[in-house]
């Protein structure tokens, strides 16, 4: 018998591909997005194992309602994929306080809302898998990505600890850190840029925006391949705590590890 999946941010991008891959594997999927119609329009009734619900993950009561309705209708949630999110791309000082808080409201607190709604059910059953879509930017930060990285670093720290709290109760966790995926994540529908003009950063920001514009749609990572791999990992008895996806991500993380090793060794010189 197939598993029952709950996927957030399923209307496009990686969330859509995970939904499709799970359905193709014979699973039942509750696909959520702020617009349920956007998900229905994509699949056009082609799967009787697809159930679509509207969910804004920043609404904690809505998250509780979606979890309760899924369990009532289908009996269980075996796999939660916390995927919904977006990126504030730009230099830190160009963002208003409201924009920074919105980044955390969605990427961190919204993700927490959904996990908090589902975890009690999984604990009661002593079974379940929480897949959290983070980013290589949750392990490595750079200029132009500081605000987005801050939200993903927070997700990493939260889930690393939460996973250890859940593990003795039979609930597993998988943090996924993709590199640059070939989705619309970097275009205007997903990404948002700072609104404050600071001349000192003007040249660097122009170069960064040119990089983003050129990269959008040309990213090396295949979201279909990542989605298939996530579905495959979810079917296994043993799941790694982390999955770094893409040669770019592995190179960046490897360089960060090497840097940390060097800095740890240098720190020993000072006691």
Catalytic residue set: 134, 148, 152
How far apart CA 234 and CA 255 sit, in angstroms, is: 29
| Residues contacting 8, CB < 8 A, separation 6+ | 15, 32, 33, 55, 57, 81, 82, 83, 84, 114
Residue 232 has, within 13 A of its CA and on its CB side, a CA count of 7
| Residues contacting 84, CB < 8 A, separation 6+ | 8, 9, 15, 32, 33, 55, 57, 106, 110, 111, 114
Residue 178 contacts residue 222 (beta carbons within 8 Å): no
List, in sequence order, every residue forming a beta bridge with 28; answer none if it has no partner. 4
Phi, psi of 149 (to 5 degrees): -60, -40
| Residues contacting 261, CB < 8 A, separation 6+ | none
Q: Is 206 helix (H, G, I), strand (E, B) or coil?
A: helix
* Integer-rounded Cα radius of gyration of the chain: 19
Q: Which pair of structure tokens corresponds to residue 126?
A: 């002593």
Q: Which pair of structure tokens corresponds to residue 115?
A: 């996990």
CA 250 from centroid of its chain's CA atoms: 17
Which of 142, 138, 190, 128 has the alpha carbon at shortest distance from 159? 138
């Amino acid at each position: 018998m197939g598993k029952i999946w709950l996927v957030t941010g399923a209307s496009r991008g990686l969330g859509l591909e995970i939904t499709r891959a799970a359905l193709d594997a014979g699973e039942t999927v509750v696909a959520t997005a702020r617009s349920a119609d956007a998900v229905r329009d994509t699949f056009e009734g082609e799967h009787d194992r697809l159930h679509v619900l509207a969910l804004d993950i920043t609404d904690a009561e809505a998250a509780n309602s979606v979890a309760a309705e899924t369990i009532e209708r289908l009996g269980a949630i075996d796999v939660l994929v916390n995927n919904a999110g977006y990126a504030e791309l730009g230099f830190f000082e160009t963002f208003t306080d409201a924009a920074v808080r919105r980044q955390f409201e969605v990427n961190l607190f919204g993700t927490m809302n959904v996990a908090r709604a589902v975890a009690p059910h999984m604990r009661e059953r002593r079974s379940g898998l929480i897949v959290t879509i983070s980013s290589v930017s949750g392990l490595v930060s750079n200029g132009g990505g500081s605000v987005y990285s801050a939200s993903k670093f927070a997700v990493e720290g939260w889930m690393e600890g939460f996973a250890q709290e859940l593990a003795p109760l039979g609930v597993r966790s998988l943090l996924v850190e993709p590199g640059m995926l070939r989705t619309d994540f970097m275009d205007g529908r997903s990404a948002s840029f700072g609104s404050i003009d600071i001349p000192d950063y003007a040249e660097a920001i122009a170069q960064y925006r040119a990089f983003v514009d050129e990269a959008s749609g040309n990213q090396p990572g295949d979201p279909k391949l990542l989605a298939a791999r996530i579905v495959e990992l979810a079917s296994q008895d043993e799941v790694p705590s982390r999955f770094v996806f893409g040669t770019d991500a592995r190179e960046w993380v490897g360089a960060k590890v090497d840097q940390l090793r060097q800095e740890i060794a240098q720190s020993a010189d000072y006691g």
